[in-house]
Chain A
Amino acid sequence: DIVMTQSPDSLAVSLGERATINCKSSQSVLYSSNNKNYLAWYQQKPGQPPKLLIQWASTRESGVPDRFSGSGSGTDFTLTISSLQAEDVAVYYCHQYYGSFITFGQGTRLEIK
């Protein structure tokens, strides 16, 4: 299994400030067949299912605000929220999805400072 490790486990950021969440995979999720990183980010609010924010490490889903951005390649990835809004309070998960043995990170809880 590919193990996904996020850091930090929790994060408190002031409104309007930048939030950065890191994700490291135990092996590369960049596949040479199409030069794509099979890395996604989800946002989960209490009582709701996860919402897909970003796939291919940096491609935002339709309707996701542009303050959310993803970066990285290979084994190291970052989710950045450029200016934190109150509605961004949630748990964020990274997820590798190459093939059928998919795995998730342990989650990062984002709160307002």
Chain B
Amino acid sequence: QITLKESGPTLVKPTQTLTLTCTFSGFSLSTSGVGVGWIRQPPGKALEWLALIYWSDEKHHSPSLRSRLSITKDTSRNQVVLTMTNMDPADTATYYCAHRLRDTGGWHPLDYWGQGILVTVSS
């Protein structure tokens, strides 16, 4: 059974750096084809993809946020960490992590999602 859970601060001040951790079970990020992504959703708004990391340590970031984002993995601890610098009130959102797979059939969509963590940016 695949599960993911986001953790981190729920309140950050403007200009601070946000660090979120995704702790997962039921799969390994050392298995070929496996990936974990981060997605956010401002209150009442749409989903926005942020970053992806794969078993190979290949990383991809949203072009619009690339300069502020960093994604890393700790395979032994089954964790993926997202860092976002220079936080702004506009970054207030629920942040989700999710599982993804690539196999011989091609890429698959994000299939298993965590419950999300609401991060508020306010002084």
In the complex with contacts A49-B113, A105-B46, A106-B46, A55-B63 CB distance below 8 A: no
Whether the Cβ atoms of B63 and A49 lie closer than 8 Å is: no
Quote the shortest CB–CB distance from B87 to chain A (angstroms): 22
Whether the Cβ atoms of A50 and B47 lie closer than 8 Å is: yes
Could you tell me the distance between the alpha carbons of A33 and B113 in the complex, rounded to whole angstroms? 28
User: How many Cβ-Cβ contacts under 8 Å join chain A to chain B?
Assistant: 61
Could you tell me the distance between the alpha carbons of A52 and B96 in the complex, rounded to whole angstroms? 14
Of listed B48, B58, B109, B116, residue having the most chain A CB within 10 A: B109
Q: Is the interface of B mostly helix, strand, loop or mixed?
A: loop
Q: With a CB–CB cut-off of 8 A, which chain B residues contact A97?
A: 107-110
Residue of A nearest to B62 (CB): A101
Of listed B48, B58, B110, B116, residue having the most chain A CB within 10 A: B110
Whether the Cβ atoms of A52 and B107 lie closer than 8 Å is: no
B52 located at the interface, meaning its Cβ lies under 8 Å from any Cβ of chain A in the complex: yes
Of listed B47, B58, B62, B115, residue having the most chain A CB within 10 A: B47
Task: Mark A residues whose CB is within 8 Å of B.
Answer: 1, 31, 33-34, 36, 38, 40, 42, 48-52, 55, 61, 93, 95, 97-107
Task: Mark B residues whose CB is within 8 Å of A.
Answer: 37, 46-49, 52, 58, 60, 62-63, 96, 98, 105-111, 113-116
